[in-house]
C-alpha cells in the first residue's frame, strides 16, 4: 500500500527526518568549506527554534519574516513558524527602507529573522513604523553581541529557550503540526509590483505542494539532485524550489558562501538542476562574449567558428532536421575545446536541465545556451499560481513557447488574456479583497494579465503583458517585450524600454551595460570619468546605433526602431524603475521620462532630462542633463523593406 504524501511542509520535514535521517539535506559554504546538515539535524534545529518562538509568544496565525541572503537558519525559521501554524513572509534583502516598512507593516509581521547586523539595523530603524514587531532574531553575531535593546536576540538564544520550553512541553511542536490543514496559509509572497504597490499573495501548503508535485509528475527530479539556493528568498520561484520541491523530493539544497563567490561555488558544487531569471542568462552571455573578445586572435577565431557550428546545429534540431555527420564531428571537437569549458565556467557541467522563468528570455539568448549544450527550457507561472503552471518537456524546448500546462491545470483565453484554473491558485491578496476580486474571473479562473495563445502543439505562447500590447498608428500590432528582448541580446545593452502605442513609429530608451561598454571603451582608449560621462560619448551612441541596426535587420519594417536615446543612468529598483526581480515598471518609466518620450517623437535633436535618483543610503537627488536623440537610418533599408514586401 502506498504511503500518502504528507499534506503540509512541516509534515514533509518530519517525514524526511524519519525516512532518511542521515542523508544530507543542506550544505552551507563557510570559510571555504561546505558544511553539511542531515535531515534529522534540519528537523531538530527547526523544532528547537519553533519551541523558542512559542516560548516568546508566537502563535497560530502570527507572521515571521526573514531577510538576508540564503542561509539555512532563515529556512529553519520559516519552517518553524509554519510548524506553529504561523505564516512565513520572506522579504527582499536589498529592499530600501520604504519598501521594507510597507511589507513588514502590511503583513503585520511580529518576528523578523535577519541574516546580519546590516539587516538588523535596517529593521530597527523602522521600528516606529512597525507596531506589530515584537522580536528581531539575528543569524550572524558579528557586531551584535551587546545590542542595547531586548528586542534583538541571537538565534542560538531563541533555540536555547526553546529547549528549556521543550522540557516542560516535550511534544508541543508535534501537536501543533498535527493541527494544521493542507489549506492553511503557509506563505505570504509579495508580488513584484510592476504597476502598483506590492500585494501579499496568500499561498497555502496545498498551493505550493500542488505546483511542486505537478512539476515532479512531468520532470525527472531526483532525491539525489543538487540544488543551489541563491535566488532572492522573497521570489516565489525560490520558495517553490528551495522549500516546497526540496521538502517534497528530498534533494540537497546548497547555499553559497556569499553572492560574490556564487560562480566559484557553483563550479565547485556542480548543481544537477538549475533555475535562473532571464537577467542571469543575459549577464552570463554578456560575460562570455566579453571574454571571447578579450582573448587572443587564435582563441577568438576558434570561439566564433565553433559558436557558428553550434548555432547551426541547434537551428537544424529545432526545426526537426537531422544534423549532418560532418557537422556532428565538428560539434564533438567543439565540445572538447569550447562548449564543455564554457558550461564548466557557468557551473552547469553536471546540469541535466536548467530553467529560465520570471520573465521572457530573448530567443537569441535562449538558442545560444542550448547550442552550447545547456538543456535550457522555459517555464511559466505567477506568484498567484505558487510559481508554476507550464513548462517545456525535453525535446520540445523553444524560445517561442513556455510549453504545455502542468497536469491538473486548465487554461482558457478571454479576449487574448491567459486565464488559469488549478489547485495552485492562491487564496487571495492579504487585506486587499478588491484586488483579489479583480484578479479572479468566475468559477475560480485566475486572470494572469498576460496576452497569449495556444499553438498547434498545445503549447502556451506568451506574447507580452496584456496591458502592454498595443498598436502603431497604422494598426501594426506592437509587443514591446519582444523588441526589448531582441535588443538585450546585444552585450552592450543592459535594459531597453520600447514605445510606439498609437505612435507613427517605434522608439526606445536604452540603458547601456556599464561593465561591457566600459570594457569596450578601455580597449579603444576612450577616456571617461563616470557612467554619465561614458553614456554621453558620441562613440557610445554610434555603438548602440549599430546594435539597433542589427536588431532592425531581422524585423518587419513597421516595427523597426527609428529613434532612441542612451540614458545616462541605469534603471534602478531603488528609483522604482524596475522591480526587485528586474522587471521594468513600464508605466512608471513612461511617466518619469515623459519629456524624453515626447522628444523622441517631436523630431528634436536633444532633450533636457530632470530625473529623481536614490542613492544606496536612501538619500535622494535630482539628475539634470541633456540627452542626444539619435535617428536610426541604416544603409540598405530600402532593400530590406522590399524583401518584406
Q: What pLDDT sits at residue 479?
A: 87
Say yes or no: 282 and 172 in one domain.
Answer: no
Give the pLDDT of residue 193.
57
Same domain, 100 and 158: yes
- Residue 629's domain comprises 470-644
Q: What is the pLDDT of residue 89?
A: 98
Residue 139 lies in a domain: yes
Which pLDDT score, from 0 to 100, does residue 160 have?
A: 97
C-alpha torsion angle, residues 155, 160, 161, 164 (rounded to 10):
160
User: Exposure pattern of 494-532 as b/e (b: 16+ CB <10 Å)?
Assistant: bbbbbbbeebebbbbbbbbbeebbebbbeeeeeebeebe
CA 76 vs. chain centroid, Å, equals 22
Q: Cβ distance 303 to 290 under 8 Å?
A: no
Question: Do residues 154 and 52 share a domain?
Answer: yes
Contact 249, 216 (CB under 8 A): yes
Q: Cell triple for residue 202? A: 496568500
Q: Which of 186, 203, 220 is the last residue of a domain?
A: 203
- Residue closest to 253 by CA, chosen among 48, 39, 40: 39
| Whether 38 and 181 share a structural domain | yes
Please state whether 246 falls in left (phi above 0), alpha (psi between -120 and 50) or beta: alpha
- Report the residue count for the chain: 645
Considering the domain architecture, whether residues 319 and 445 belong to the same structural domain is answered as: yes
* pTM > 0.75: yes or no: yes
Q: Side by side, which strands form the sheet with 226-228?
A: 33-38, 24-30, 252-255, 226-228
Give the model's pLDDT for residue 164. Answer: 97
Is the domain of 282 the same as that of 308?
yes
Last residue of a domain, one of 187, 203, 219: 203
Contacts of 111 (CB under 8 A, 6+ apart): 53, 56, 58, 62, 63, 64, 65, 81, 133, 134, 135, 136, 137
Domain contains 27: yes
Does residue 216 sit within a domain? no
* CATH of residue 618: 3.30.300.30
Is residue 227 within 8 A of residue 254, CB to CB? The reply is: yes
Q: Is residue 44 part of a domain?
A: yes
Residue 214 counted as domain residue:
no
C-alpha cell of residue 341: 569549458
Residues 552 and 409 grouped into a single domain: no
Nearest to 139 by CA among 72, 228, 235: 72
457 in Cβ contact with 479 (< 8 Å): no
Let me know: does 134 contact 104? Beta carbons within 8 Å.
no
- Do residues 458 and 373 share a domain? yes
Q: Does residue 460 sit in the same domain as residue 502?
A: no
For residue 196, what pLDDT is reported?
Answer: 59
H-helix or E-strand spanning residue 594: helix 594-601
pLDDT along the chain (645 residues), means of 10: 76 97 96 95 98 97 97 98 98 88 96 95 94 96 85 96 96 96 97 72 97 95 96 94 97 94 93 92 88 89 94 88 93 94 94 89 88 94 95 88 94 93 97 95 94 91 86 90 86 91 93 90 88 90 93 88 92 79 82 90 86 67 84 56 37
Q: How far is CA 425 from the centre of its chain?
A: 20
Last residue of a domain, one of 184, 203, 222: 203
Helix (H) or strand (E) holding 158: helix 155-168
Domain count for the chain, please give it.
3
Beta carbons of 236 and 383 less than 8 angstroms apart: yes
| Residues 412, 284 share a domain | yes
Picking from 554, 550, 562, 561, the residue whose alpha carbon sits closest to that of residue 644 is 554
- Whole-number pLDDT of residue 363: 83
Q: Is residue 56 part of a domain?
A: yes
User: For residues 170 and 431, what is the distance between their CA atoms, to the nearest angstrom?
Assistant: 36
Which of 619-634 are b and which e, b meaning 16 or more Cβ less than 10 Å from the residue's Cβ? eeeeeeeebebbebee
390-391: strand order across its sheet: 273-276, 353-356, 376-380, 390-391
Torsion, CA 521, CA 526, CA 527, CA 533, rounded to 10: -60
* Residue environment code for 533-564, b if the CB has 16+ CB neighbours within 10 A, otherwise e: ebbbbeebbebbbebbbebbeebeebbbbbbb
Separation between Cα atoms, residue 27 and residue 29, nearest integer Å: 7
Q: Is 266 inside any structural domain?
A: no
CB distance 244 to 217 below 8 Å: no
DSSP codes of every residue in 573-589: GGGTSB-TT--B-HHHH
- Is residue 474 domain-shared with residue 439, that is, in the same domain? no
* Calpha distance 85→61 (Å, rounded): 6
| Whether residue 427 is found in the same domain as residue 483 | no
CA distance 483 to 181: 46
pLDDT at residue 635, rounded to an integer: 43
CATH classification of the domain holding 403: 3.40.50.12780
**How far, in Å, are 439, 475, 489, 525, 597 from residue 287 at the CA level?**
39, 39, 12, 20, 31
Strand-pairing partners, residue 497, are 509
Q: Is residue 188 part of a domain?
A: yes
Amino acid at each position: 500500500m502506498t504511503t500518502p504524501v504528507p499534506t503540509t511542509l512541516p509534515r514533509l520535514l518530519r517525514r524526511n527526518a524519519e525516512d532518511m535521517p542521515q542523508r544530507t539535506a543542506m550544505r552551507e559554504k563557510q570559510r571555504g568549506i561546505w558544511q553539511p546538515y542531515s535531515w534529522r539535524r534540519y528537523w531538530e534545529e527547526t523544532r528547537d527554534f519553533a519551541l523558542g518562538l512559542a516560548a516568546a509568544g508566537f502563535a497560530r496565525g502570527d507572521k515571521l519574516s526573514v531577510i538576508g541572503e540564503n542561509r539555512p537558519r532563515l529556512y529553519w525559521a520559516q519552517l518553524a513558524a509554519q510548524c506553529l501554524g504561523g505564516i512565513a513572509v520572506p522579504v527582499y534583502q536589498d529592499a530600501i527602507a520604504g519598501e521594507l516598512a510597507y511589507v513588514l507593516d502590511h503583513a503585520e509581521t511580529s518576528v523578523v529573522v535577519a541574516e546580519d547586523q546590516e539587516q538588523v539595523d535596517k529593521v530597527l530603524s523602522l521600528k516606529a513604523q512597525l507596531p506589530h514587531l515584537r522580536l528581531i532574531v539575528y543569524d550572524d553575531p558579528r557586531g551584535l553581541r551587546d545590542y542595547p535593546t531586548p528586542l534583538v536576540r541571537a538565534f542560538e538564544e531563541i533555540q536555547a529557550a526553546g529547549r528549556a520550553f521543550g522540557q516542560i512541553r516535550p511534544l508541543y511542536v508535534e501537536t501543533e503540526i498535527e493541527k494544521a490543514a493542507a489549506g492553511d496559509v503557509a506563505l505570504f509572497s509579495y508580488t513584484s509590483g510592476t504597476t502598483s504597490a506590492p500585494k501579499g499573495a496568500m499561498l497555502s501548503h496545498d498551493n505550493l505542494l500542488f505546483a511542486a508535485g505537478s512539476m515532479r509528475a512531468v520532470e525527472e527530479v531526483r532525491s539525489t539532485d543538487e540544488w543551489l539556493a541563491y535566488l532572492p528568498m522573497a521570489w516565489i520561484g525560490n520558495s517553490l524550489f528551495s522549500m516546497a520541491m526540496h521538502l517534497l523530493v528530498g534533494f540537497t539544497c546548497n547555499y553559497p558562501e556569499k553572492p560574490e563567490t556564487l560562480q566559484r561555488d557553483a563550479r565547485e558544487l556542480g548543481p544537477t538542476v538549475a533555475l535562473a531569471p532571464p537577467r542571469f542568462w543575459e549577464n552570463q552571455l554578456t560575460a562570455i562574449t566579453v571574454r571571447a573578445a578579450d582573448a587572443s586572435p587564435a582563441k577568438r577565431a576558434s570561439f566564433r567558428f565553433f559558436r557558428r557550428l553550434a548555432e547551426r546545429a541547434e537551428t537544424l534540431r529545432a526545426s526537426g532536421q537531422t544534423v549532418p555527420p560532418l557537422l556532428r564531428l565538428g560539434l564533438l571537437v567543439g565540445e572538447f575545446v569550447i562548449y564543455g569549458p564554457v558550461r564548466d565556467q557557468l557551473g552547469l557541467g553536471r546540469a541535466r536541465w536548467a530553467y529560465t522563468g520570471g520573465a521572457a528570455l530573448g530567443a537569441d539568448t535562449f538558442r545560444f545556451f542550448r547550442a552550447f549544450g545547456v538543456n535550457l527550457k522555459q517555464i511559466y507561472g505567477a506568484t498567484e499560481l505558487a510559481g508554476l503552471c507550464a513548462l517545456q518537456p525535453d525535446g520540445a524546448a523553444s524560445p517561442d513557447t513556455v510549453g504545455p500546462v502542468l497536469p491538473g491545470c486548465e487554461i482558457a483565453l478571454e479576449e487574448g488574456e491567459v486565464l488559469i484554473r488549478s489547485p495552485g491558485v492562491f487564496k487571495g491578496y492579504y487585506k486587499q479583497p478588491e484586488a483579489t476580486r479583480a484578479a479572479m474571473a468566475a468559477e475560480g479562473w485566475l486572470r494572469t494579465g498576460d496576452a497569449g495563445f495556444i499553438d498547434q502543439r498545445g503549447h502556451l505562447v506568451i506574447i507580452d503583458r496584456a496591458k502592454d500590447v498595443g498598436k502603431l498608428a497604422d494598426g501594426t500590432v506592437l509587443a514591446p517585450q519582444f523588441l526589448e528582448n531582441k535588443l538585450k541580446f546585444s552585450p552592450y545593452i543592459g535594459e531597453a524600454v520600447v514605445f510606439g502605442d498609437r505612435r507613427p513609429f517605434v522608439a526606445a530608451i536604452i540603458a547601456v551595460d556599464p561593465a561591457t561598454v566600459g570594457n569596450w571603451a578601455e580597449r579603444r582608449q576612450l577616456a571617461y570619468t563616470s557612467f554619465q560621462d561614458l553614456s554621453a560619448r558620441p562613440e557610445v551612441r554610434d555603438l548602440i546605433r549599430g546594435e539597433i541596426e542589427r536588431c532592425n535587420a531581422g524585423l518587419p519594417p513597421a516595427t523597426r526602431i527609428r529613434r532612441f536615446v542612451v540614458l545616462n543612468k541605469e534603471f534602478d529598483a531603488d528609483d522604482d524603475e524596475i522591480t526587485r526581480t528586474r522587471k521594468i515598471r513600464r508605466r512608471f518609466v513612461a511617466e518619469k521620462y515623459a519629456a524624453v518620450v515626447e522628444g523622441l517623437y517631436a523630431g528634436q535633436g536633444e532633450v533636457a532630462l530632470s530625473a529623481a535618483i536614490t542613492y544606496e543610503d536612501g538619500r535622494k537627488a535630482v539628475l539634470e542633463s541633456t540627452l542626444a536623440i539619435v535617428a536610426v537610418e541604416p544603409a540598405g533599408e530600402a532593400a530590406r523593406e522590399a524583401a518584406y514586401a
